[in-house]
């Protein structure tokens, strides 16, 4: 029976290296506002490329991919442990070749792209020579694919795309976009959409504005509002089979949610560490905050929530590795998504509260973490949708009972027990 929580020694060495490397070489970049997205800016490349070279020497580059695509093929559990470290820094994912949305897009092309598409788009993406965009959600529909209206119509050797997309990640810096469009409007709801690669410079790809989320400058956000107007792309830019976009997107999002969750663990731990330091440093009414029972309750609750969430994420990653089938772990992935926003909310709020007025300022990282909370509950689908998924998956393992009484009705169970044991024990009425 195998049942332990240890990391194998060789991989632990790599994690230890990554921990020190991120702390000493990468986190300082965040503090000076370094932007890793300028891949055509020689000043950015001067800093970025040497750091990436060190990561590659350690065999930790693009760990989300298998060896055939230039990655080590570590699997989701090892990836989760690495992302727990990378989550401490905004720049770390780019330095380690696993920044979103490029990671998920690379997986889609790797699994569903033709050799031509892999050569033209995947390899430069893996080499960090270009960025990409995932263009899925729509203004009126959000993340509900059954309500999408963006259409792609076949016209000879081309697809013609028309419609609007909302929150298209990193479009302004991308060389291409993966667009989810309705190609089979009369099919079943989840079989209407297909995925297409669209070069960003294609005529008709119009970024109406870059929407800023909490903490970003107005008009200078990373989420694009795009209008596709008679956008023509070659027919061979289709990813996978026609009408299979929903299934493809679930494959893409499943692993991404695990990576995101473990990066969230790192952010929550930062808030928790700050909380613990604060209560051991600040006195009020003649004693340390740490000695006050209400504060102790907040410390205890936060520690419990973090440990429970971390174990849930790691177990889910382990199950993905075991089954190699995201559908079998759908309930677990949904649970991770729902728990992520709640634990971030709870721990960051407590830490801000314990820090007092200072906790609400931009002189601590807590305000930025707090701004992430509502985004967490919406990104990759609202939490309510994932709760529905959890409930439906859980109830598949149960069935109702016929008759008047529940299956745990004690009088009926006692009577059944008497009958079962009658030949072994001389039971009289009323003995049990």
CATH number of 158's domain: 2.40.110.10
Query: CA-to-CA distance for 215 and 232, rounded, in angstroms?
Result: 36
In a domain, residue 273? The reply is yes
For residue 292, pLDDT over 80 is answered with: yes
Asked if residue 379 belongs to a domain, the reply is yes
The pLDDT of residue 36 is above 90: no
| Cα distance between residue 370 and residue 187, in whole Å | 42
Domain final position from 179, 210, 239: 239
Residue 265 sits in the same domain as residue 366: yes
Split at pLDDT 50, 70, 90, the class of 224 is very high
Total-model pTM: 0.89
**pLDDT the model gives residue 6:** 87
Among 46-55, 98-107, 110-119, 172-181, the range scoring the smallest mean pLDDT is: 98-107
Least confident among 218-222, 233-237, 394-398, 399-403: 218-222
User: What's the CA gap between 42 and 203, in Å, rounded?
Assistant: 28
Same domain, 137 and 78: no
Higher pLDDT, 107 or 27: 27
Q: Measuring CA to CA, how many Å separate 152 from each of 74, 91, 143, 389? A: 37, 36, 18, 29
Q: What is the distance of C-alpha 407 from the center of its chain?
A: 39
Answer whether residue 432 shows pLDDT above 70: no
Instruction: Say how many domains are in the chain.
Output: 3
Residue 140 within a domain? yes
pLDDT band at 431; cut points 50, 70, 90 = low
Token pair recorded at residue 370: 């707090």
Q: Give yes or no: residues 252 and 370 share one domain.
A: yes
- Reported as a pLDDT band with limits 50, 70 and 90, residue 288 is very high
Q: Which residue has the higher pLDDT, 201 or 43?
A: 201
pLDDT at 327: 82
Q: Is the pLDDT of residue 429 over 60?
A: no
Domain region containing 178:
132-239
φ, ψ (nearest 5 deg) of residue 287: -150, 160
Query: Looking at the structure, do residues 290 and 260 belong to the same domain, yes or no?
Result: yes
Q: Are residues 292 and 347 in the same domain?
A: yes
| 320 and 341 share one domain | yes
**Residues 136 and 183 placed together within one structural domain of the fold:** yes
Same domain for 284 and 185: no
The CATH code of the domain that includes 44 is 1.10.540.10
320: its two tokens: 């993905």
Residue 272 domain-assigned? yes
Pairing outcome for strands 205-211 and 158-169: unpaired
Same domain? For 311 and 228 the reply is: no
Same structural domain, 234 and 250:
no
For the segment 47-66, the average pLDDT, to the nearest whole number, is 91
């Amino acid at each position: 029976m195998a049942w332990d929580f240890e990391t194998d020694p060789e991989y632990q060495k790599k994690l230890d290296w990554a921990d020190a490397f991120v702390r000493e070489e990468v986190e300082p970049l965040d503090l000076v506002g370094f932007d890793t997205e300028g891949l055509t800016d020689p000043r950015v490349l001067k800093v970025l490329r040497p750091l990436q070279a060190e990561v590659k020497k350690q065999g930790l580059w693009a760990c989300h991919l298998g060896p055939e695509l230039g990655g080590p093929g570590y699997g989701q559990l090892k990836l989760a442990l690495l992302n727990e470290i990378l989550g401490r820094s905004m720049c770390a994912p780019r330095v380690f070749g696993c920044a979103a949305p490029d990671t998920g897009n690379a997986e889609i092309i790797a699994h569903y792209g033709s050799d031509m598409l892999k050569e033209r788009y995947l390899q430069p993406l893996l080499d960090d020579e270009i960025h990409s965009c995932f263009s899925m959600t729509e203004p009126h529909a959000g993340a509900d694919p059954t309500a999408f209206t963006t259409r792609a119509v076949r016209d000879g050797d081309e697809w013609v795309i028309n419609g609007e997309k909302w929150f298209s990640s990193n479009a302004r810096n991308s060389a291409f976009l993966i667009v989810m469009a309705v190609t089979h409007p009369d099919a079943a709801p989840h079989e209407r959409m297909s995925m297409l690669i669209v070069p960003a410079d294609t005529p008709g790809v119009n970024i109406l504005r870059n929407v800023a989320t909490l903490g970003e400058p107005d008009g200078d956000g990373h989420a694009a509002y795009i209008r596709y107007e008679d956008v023509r792309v070659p027919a061979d830019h289709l990813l996978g089979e026609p009408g299979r976009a929903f299934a493809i997107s679930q494959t893409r999002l499943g692993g991404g949610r695990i990576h995101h969750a473990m990066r969230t663990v790192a952010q929550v731990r930062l808030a928790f560490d700050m909380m613990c330091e604060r209560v051991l440093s600040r006195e009020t009414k003649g004693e340390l905050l740490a000695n006050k029972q209400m504060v102790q309750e907040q410390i205890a609750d936060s520690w419990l929530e973090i440990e429970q969430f971390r174990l849930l994420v790691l177990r889910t990653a382990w199950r993905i590795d075991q089954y190699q089938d995201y559908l079998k772990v759908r309930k677990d992935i949904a649970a991770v998504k729902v728990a992520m926003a709640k634990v971030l909310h709870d721990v960051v709020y407590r830490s801000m509260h314990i820090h007092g007025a200072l906790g609400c300022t931009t002189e601590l990282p807590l305000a930025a973490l707090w701004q992430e909370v509502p985004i967490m509950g919406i990104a990759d689908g609202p939490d309510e949708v994932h709760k529905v998924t959890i409930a439906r998956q859980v109830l598949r393992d149960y069935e109702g009972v016929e008759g008047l009484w529940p299956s745990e009705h004690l009088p009926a169970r006692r009577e059944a027990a008497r009958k079962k044991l009658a030949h072994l024990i001389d039971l009289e009425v009323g003995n049990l």
